[in-house]
Amino acid sequence: MKFKWLIFALIFIVLFSCVEAKKKQGKLSVNASVSVFDPPGDVSSALLFEVSAKYKLSNKVTTEMSVGWSQYESGGQNVTLIPVQLNGELHPLGRGMFDPYVGCGIGAYFTQTGEDVTATAGVQGLGGLSFSPQDNFSFSVEIKYMLTDVTDPESGGWSLGGGADINWETPL
């Protein structure tokens, strides 16, 4: 039942964001990133790969939809995590060559442990710094805390990533 409400909330937020974005004539960009992910519990770190689409509503506000993938071992079993996240970002200085930002959002987290697959609703907070020497190219560093199940306070994990982003932007 909780999962149905999460899907409903995600659809509502995406539709609302699209309606608001159409009024503001923002820009869409597509990015890919790799992070080091520290899963919850006594588990070694793993890589987290993410692909995201960001829509710049204004110089200071961005929405982001991302999908990720990570695999690690816990208790002798392989665990695969697929986070699907919807975030809002605040860029307090506006978008310039140096662009610090903070954000938060909601997510659906799909976890496969052995043959068991679970879906949970979670939240995340993030912050980062982007350096853009050109309009369509940037280096970025981001830290994110993901609470993969809102009913379990022990389900949180950190990710730290960085790298080069090539942004494809188009007005909608």
What is the end-to-end Cα distance of the chain in Å, rounded?
A: 35
Q: What is the pLDDT of residues 37-83, one digit of tens each?
A: 999 888 889 999 998 888 888 889 999 999 999 999 988 899 999 99
Answer for the pair 124, 105: CB distance below 8 angstroms, yes or no.
yes
Residue 7: what pLDDT?
55
Residue 135: what pLDDT?
72
Domain boundary assignment for the chain = 2-167
169 falls in which pLDDT band (50, 70, 90)? low
Residue 127: what pLDDT?
96
Q: What is the pLDDT of residues 10-44, one digit of tens each?
A: 555 555 555 544 555 567 777 888 999 999 888 88
Q: Which helix (H) or strand (E) holds 8?
A: helix 2-24
The residue ranking higher by pLDDT, 147 or 137, is: 147
DSSP state of 38: E
What is the arithmetic mean of pLDDT over 133-152? 88
Tokens of 27: 């820009």
What is the arithmetic mean of pLDDT over 96-101? 89
Residue 90: what pLDDT?
95
Tokens of 170: 């188009």
Q: How many CB atoms neighbour CB 78 within 10 A?
A: 11
- Among residues 15, 28, 33, 3, the alpha carbon closest in space to that of 107 is found at 3
Residue 114: what pLDDT?
86
Residue % of the chain over a pLDDT of 70: 80
Rounded distance between C-alpha atoms, residue 39 and residue 159, angstroms: 8
What is the arithmetic mean of pLDDT over 99-117? 95
9 falls in which pLDDT band (50, 70, 90)? low
Tokens of 44: 């070694």
Strands 170-171 and 46-56: unpaired
Domain 2-167 in CATH 3.90.550.10 = no
Rounded distance between C-alpha atoms, residue 53 and residue 172, angstroms: 13
Strands 156-166 and 27-38: antiparallel
